[in-house]
A and B are shown apart, each in its own frame.
Chain A
Amino acid sequence: MNNLKKTLALMAALAMTATAFVGCGEEESSSVSESSSVAEEVSEEASEEASEEASEEASEEASEEASEEVSEEVVEAEVPALGTPDGTLGDGGDALTILCWTEDDLKFMYDVVANASGMDKSKMVWSQVGTAGGEANEKYAQVFASDDDVDLFFCDADWNMAYQNNDEYSAPLSAVGITEDMYANAYDYTGAMGKDQNGGPKGATWQVAAGGYAYRTDLAEQYLGITTPEDMQAAIGDWAAFWETAATVYEASEGVTAMADSLGGVWRAYSNGNRTSAWVQDGVITADNSKACLGDFISMAKTNYDAGYISTASQWTDDWLPQGMSAGAQANKTFGFFFPTWSLGAGSQLSTAEGEEGAEGSTYGMYNIVSGPTGWFWGGTWICVSPKTDNATEAGQFIYYMTVDSTSMQAYVDAKSDFVNNKVVMANTIKAGTNSNPLLGGQDQLAVLADSAANIDMSIATQYDATINTELQNAVQAYCEGTIASEEDCVDEFLNKLSESLTDVTVE
């Protein structure tokens, strides 16, 4: 009896001890155990939120008209077949495991890769890490530190450099048989962005995230008398014209409708379309350089915000997307949104902004897209190889069929109508005219954004851009809302916050 009591007491004590470890568990969900309907919902949200932290880089001014057809024949360059792994990485493991936060994309990719390579689909599993890009960024390090199997992982343009520049986290693509000359048909900037600080390719992307301006066709007709995207593009061809049109819209709508959906949207377009200087140079942000990077953005933002041409809603808040509907508290508050390619598909930001088809205030299909006041881009996801992989062959195949092979990439476009990183595939798709987006009233967004895509230049991107974007938007928002008194204070506040969070960059 005594022994029984002792044993019970010991067990109770052990159980109490064990509860202390409860917090140490892992939080990832895995593809194996997930029910698909829930998974889909989660991932839709995920891809939406992932973009929240999406990147900021720069491209040259691209003021080509959207109406300009991509008519010239794109010559397909010969690309070499997939090589074999060089033996530095493990091979022959059980399953190809991919870390991501966008399992919605993954479902399509598995079909595409399995069909193209003949790989057994059951050999591929994904692991959903967090529901947003920023969360994935934080949690990847934990996954890498554990002994869990990781073969490939997805990185947002915001922070892929931080992983690519670290040999502990990423292996060179050459180790899985991928070489640079395979990307002859790819958009140039994607290759540059996938290299580490020594110039070795470390990441590859299937995506090109060109941005445009999606506007309400019914409001355009009502306020501006414009019925075609060509006329719309002509009316907002550069920033001056854009704000002029904004004034017309504002007056015609009696102060209800703002031209731009949010300050964040204007900043993305400006930063990735008009900025010509990298924020951080030789580990320093100088006063002159920050001035050059900012250009006239702050005064432009303040003037137009005060005038009511920029909506007061912030991106990624509950106020933001409902502005795109024609009923409700936020009805008609914006004329259009600055959206990249990944915001235009089913279940994305545009479909939230429009509301469900037939619902009250729904603007389903009442949008068109034009390239807007500047050619710009926003984000993108790169695939990197983990040095701990035990499936080098399959990892190479996955990257090859998602980012190199024209046939399988075409299949992905047809399935997902994403803008893929292959000029030939895009040219063919646009020429064939097979892509028709019901959210845009049947318009083909790929054709409109092709020019912007061709002009994307990420050479001035730095791994600090995510932090810089956040702090700048907060400071400018505060200045516009009147909590910061002057433009000088606004820049000062922005640089102060930056200097606090960047440890390895000197802010002058």
Chain B
Amino acid sequence: MASTAQSRIKSISYAKYGYMFIAPFFIVYAFFQIWPLINTFILSFYGNGDAASEFVAIENYQTLLFGGEGRRERALNDTFFQSFANTVILWVGNFAPQILLSLLLAVWFTDSKLHIPGQGAFKVIMYLPNIITAVSVAALFMRFISNSQMSAVNTILQSLGNETIKFENDPTWSRGIVMFIQTWMWFGNTMIMMMSGILGINPSLFEAANIDGASSGQVLRKITLPLLKPMVVYTLITSMIGGLQMFDIPFLYHTAQGDIKDHLRTVAVFIYEQFRVGNNVHSPQYGIAGAASIMLFVVTAILGIFVFRMNRDQDEARKKAERKALVKEYKKQQKLAKMGGID
């Protein structure tokens, strides 16, 4: 028999203090994150420039997706699709080498037979580019290889008596450089991810393979890669979300003021340009920028779901489905029984 004091204590809920403590964060989050998200959605149905308060329904989406009669509509449509293509090219071009390089390094670094000396130093050095801000990295590469006559590569070309090259003007060069920068910045990060994935694999599997006389190629193909799949999928999804929003390097890689090259304009850069066009600060195009943002969000979500579904564990998925079916069946029977009981 519990005393009254005990039962009173039982009724005290400490949860409310927890809610009170986390409330400030959620209030701020709702105000500065959720509301802007919703507002972006609302703005995408309103006009641009001076007509920002005018409701135009889906006109902005129409313009971006299908163009229209006027020069403005056609131009925006072209630029939008071009920027989507750029985004995909730049992302694929930096993700493919990045994941291969990271995998290779991760396998080497975790291989117990290799014993690479100075591993710690290598890891730190390879991770370093990721610590530097994108702005500094862009500034660095502008000095190294760009349109400028005074960039390192052009200076060398000149001193060898060659013509200087306007690296930003050529789509292959400039995209290649941006891809390289992105790869260089992110492969260290991906490598750490891969290593943690490999270290998470049960070592007895590797030992067993060694005892059975498997070659390192076989170990890689039959053990490491299949078991690393969840980590690769995770990296793929995060990198894809990040890649579709790629902004800083393509935005910063140009010498002349405001001269963002057409073959480097990503969707995020396009959105920023529409949102605040350099000299044109008095008529920001919130509608177009909002619509483009929402479409980018939709595309990212669809791709994310697609990749996730493609790569999830087939067995796991089947089991889950079976479990669900079982539960459903059980509930059905219970219901029947209940109904039978009432009768």
Contact = CB atoms under 8 A, between A and B. Distances in A.
Nearest to A311: B149
Contacts of B285: 503
B169 A478 contact: yes
Interface string A477-508: 11001110000000000011101111110111
Interface in B136-164: 147-150, 155, 158, 164
Contacts of B158: 329
Interface size class of A (residues with CB under 8 A): 35 or more
B99 interface: no
Specify which of A482, A495, A499 lies most central, judged by the most chain B CB atoms within 10 Å of its CB.
A499
Interface in A432-476: 466-467, 470, 474
Contact of A508 (B71, B147, B148, B273): B71
A20 B32 contact: yes
B282 interface: yes
A329 B258 contact: no
A319 B70 contact: no
Contacts of A506: 70, 72
A470 B279 contact: yes
Interface string B18-32: 000110110110001
Interface size class of B (residues with CB under 8 A): 35 or more
Given A483-B169, A496-B75, A499-B70, A504 B25 contact: no
A44 interface: no
A141 interface: yes
A146 interface: no
B25 A499 contact: no
B24 A17 contact: yes
B328 interface: no
A502 B279 contact: no
B169 A481 contact: yes
Nearest to A135: B281
A265 interface: no
Specify which of A313, A329, A478, A504 lies most central, judged by the most chain B CB atoms within 10 Å of its CB.
A329
Given A317-B256, A474-B258, A477-B256, A14 B150 contact: no
Contacts of A158: 279
Contact of A470 (B22, B147, B170, B278): B278
Contacts of B276: 138
A9 B258 contact: no
Given A317-B148, A503-B285, A9 B75 contact: no
Contact of A134 (B28, B70, B273, B279): B279
Contact of B259 (A134, A312, A477): A477
A60 interface: no
A496 B257 CA distance: 19
A287 to B, nearest CB: 10
A10 interface: yes
Contact of B281 (A138, A330, A482, A502): A138
Contacts of A477: 256, 259
A316 interface: yes
A162 B277 contact: no
B255 A159 contact: no
Contact of A503 (B32, B49, B71): B49
B50 to A, nearest CB: 5
A319 B257 CA distance: 13
A329 B155 contact: yes
Nearest to B256: A314
A130 B314 CA distance: 57
Given A500-B72, A504-B283, A318 B150 contact: yes
B50 A504 contact: yes
Contacts of A482: 169
A319 B151 CA distance: 9
Contacts of B258: 470, 474
B2 to A, nearest CB: 24
Interface in B267-304: 273-274, 276-283, 285
A264 to B, nearest CB: 9
Contact of A467 (B21, B155, B259, B278): B278
A91 interface: no
Contacts of A237: none
Nearest to B282: A162
Interface string A110-137: 0000000000000000000000001001
A144 B148 CA distance: 39
B79 interface: yes
Interface string A312-328: 11111111001000000
B232 interface: no
Given A470-B258, A496-B78, A508-B71, A501 B280 contact: yes
A10 B23 CA distance: 11
B166 interface: yes
A28 interface: no
Interface in B202-243: none
Contacts of B256: 314-317, 474, 477
Given A14-B24, A470-B279, A478-B169, 8 more contacts: A318-B255, A322-B150, A470-B258, A481-B166, A496-B71, A500-B274, A501-B280, A503-B51
Interface of B: 17, 21-22, 24-25, 27-28, 32, 48-51, 70-72, 74-76, 78-79, 147-150, 155, 158, 164, 166, 169-170, 255-259, 273-274, 276-283, 285
29 contacts: A6-B17, A53-B279, A138-B276, A141-B281, A162-B282, A314-B147, A314-B257, A316-B256, A317-B255, A318-B148, A318-B150, A322-B150, A329-B155, A330-B149, A330-B150, A466-B279, A467-B278, A470-B257, A470-B278, A481-B166, A482-B169, A495-B71, A496-B74, A496-B78, A499-B71, A501-B273, A501-B277, A501-B280, A503-B283
Top 3 A-B residue pairs of the complex, sorted by shortest distance between their CB atoms? A503-B49, A466-B279, A314-B256
